[in-house]
């Protein structure tokens, strides 16, 4: 889908097997910035390279024009097709240094953060050519017309980054901004709040491109961030209410919190338990999301 003259949004549906015969339907977005060359932001899961290449051909361009793949973080639905794209095109790959280990060693990622169906979602490791720190810029096609500003926005993961294209007013937020009612996934609850507050303070956002949500335009972009902050507060309160004063079994805590939040029972899995554990770690921190900046 072409959203602006230069930016294209590609929606990739996929499934996560959570139990025998049970799978969660999911989707993730990747984005193309089509200037003199093509920059790809995130790659979807393994196999998405076919959809990406077919789309590029459909707009009259050649997949070989992809010069750079920027990975907003290291999780399977963002890096899954990176190896296949790199092998087919020979493009460069960039990510935050805190994500390098899991991108270059996916077996390690699977050991340290197991995800159901990991081996079907990730096509293999890929080497990082460029490390992206917060505050740096990326001249995507060498002309200066599409220069991305990099913001370090940890919370969802330690090295999550958000990209801002000022000329288009386009903010590419990866998985930093949770969607109300969807499965919350983050490693640092307080960090997530701080990162969304940072993005909320960016002036001139005309369109928000999230990995988990359709593009949001104008004030709707800022409204989506406000709703995300409220959702994080609701999750935090539910986790603490479920835990009470004592130590809880992680999966029992997850089941109780899922019920309290109205999420589907099949959402109970170790990955969601990891998210709720992040809220327990923040029990004694100032988690209030208001006032907003």
Q: Above 50 in pLDDT, residue 209?
A: yes
Task: Determine which helix (DSSP H) or strand (DSSP E) holds 170, and give its type and residue range.
Answer: strand 170-174
Give me the pLDDT at residue 60, please: 97
**Quick count: other Cβ atoms within 10 Å of Cβ 22?**
11
Predicted pLDDT at 291? 46
pLDDT at 292: 46
- How many CA atoms are closer than 13 Å to the CA of 237, on its beta-carbon side? 10
Residue 286, pLDDT score: 67
Instruction: Kindly report, residue by residue over 264-282, the tens digit of the pLDDT.
Output: 888 888 889 999 999 999 9
- In this predicted structure, which of 37-46, 241-250, 275-284 has the lowest mean pLDDT? 241-250
Please report, for the chain, the start and end positions of each structural domain, with discontinuous segments joined by +: 7-234
* CATH code for the domain defined by 7-234: 3.60.15.10
Asked whether the beta carbons of 73 and 94 are under 8 A apart, the reply is no
DSSP H helices, the chain, are 48-58, 76-79, 82-89, 100-104, 106-112, 118-121, 189-200, 219-243, 250-261, 270-281
CA 1 – CA 136 distance, rounded (Å)? 28
The answer to whether the CB of 35 falls within 8 A of the CB of 7 is no
User: pLDDT, tens digit, for every residue of 173-185?
Assistant: 999 999 999 989 9
Residue range 274-291: average pLDDT?
Answer: 81
In this prediction, residue 145 carries a pLDDT of 87
Summarised one tens digit per residue, pLDDT across range 92-114 is: 999 999 999 999 999 999 999 99
202 near 172, Cβ under 8 Å?
Answer: no
Mean pLDDT of the chain: 93
Least confident stretch, 16-25, 29-38, 238-247, 272-281: 16-25
**This model's pTM is above 0.85:** yes
Quote the CA–CA distance of 148 and 275 in Å, as a whole number: 30
Instruction: Let me know: does 126 contact 103? Beta carbons within 8 Å.
Output: yes
The strands making up 92-95's β-sheet, listed across from edge to edge, are 7-19, 22-34, 38-41, 66-70, 92-95, 130-131
Check residue 248 and give its pLDDT: 74
Rounded to an integer, the average pLDDT of 159-183 is 96
Q: What is the mean pLDDT of residues 193-220?
A: 96
pLDDT at residue 37 above 70?
A: yes
């Amino acid at each position: 889908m072409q959203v602006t003259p230069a930016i294209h949004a590609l929606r990739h549906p996929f499934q996560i097997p959570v139990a025998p015969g049970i799978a969660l339907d999911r989707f993730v977005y990747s984005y193309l910035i089509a200037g003199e060359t093509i920059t790809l932001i995130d790659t979807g899961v393994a196999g998405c390279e076919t959809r990406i290449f077919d789309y590029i051909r459909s707009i009259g361009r050649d997949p070989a024009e992809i010069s750079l793949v920027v990975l907003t973080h290291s999780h399977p639905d963002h890096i899954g097709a990176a190896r296949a794209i790199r092998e087919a095109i020979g493009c460069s790959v960039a990510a935050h240094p805190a994500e390098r280990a899991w991108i270059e060693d996916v077996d390690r990622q699977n050991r340290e953060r197991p995800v159901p169906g990991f081996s079907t979602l990730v096509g293999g490791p890929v080497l990082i050519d460029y490390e992206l720190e917060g505050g740096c810029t990326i001249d995507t096609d060498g002309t200066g017309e599409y220069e991305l500003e990099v913001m370090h926005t940890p919370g969802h993961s330690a090295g999550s980054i958000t990209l801002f294209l000022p000329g288009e007013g386009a903010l590419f937020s990866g998985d930093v901004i949770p969607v109300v009612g969807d499965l919350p996934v983050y490693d640092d609850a307080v960090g997530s709040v701080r990162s969304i507050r940072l993005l909320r303070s960016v002036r001139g956002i005309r369109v928000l491109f999230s990995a988990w949500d359709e593009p949001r335009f104008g004030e709707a972009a800022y409204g989506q961030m406000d709703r995300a902050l409220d959702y994080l507060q609701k999750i935090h309160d539910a986790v603490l209410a479920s835990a009470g004063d004592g130590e809880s079994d992680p999966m029992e805590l997850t089941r109780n919190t899922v019920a309290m939040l109205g999420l589907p029972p099949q959402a109970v899995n170790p990955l969601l338990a990891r998210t709720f554990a992040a809220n327990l770690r923040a029990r004694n921190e100032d988690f209030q999301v208001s006032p907003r900046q």
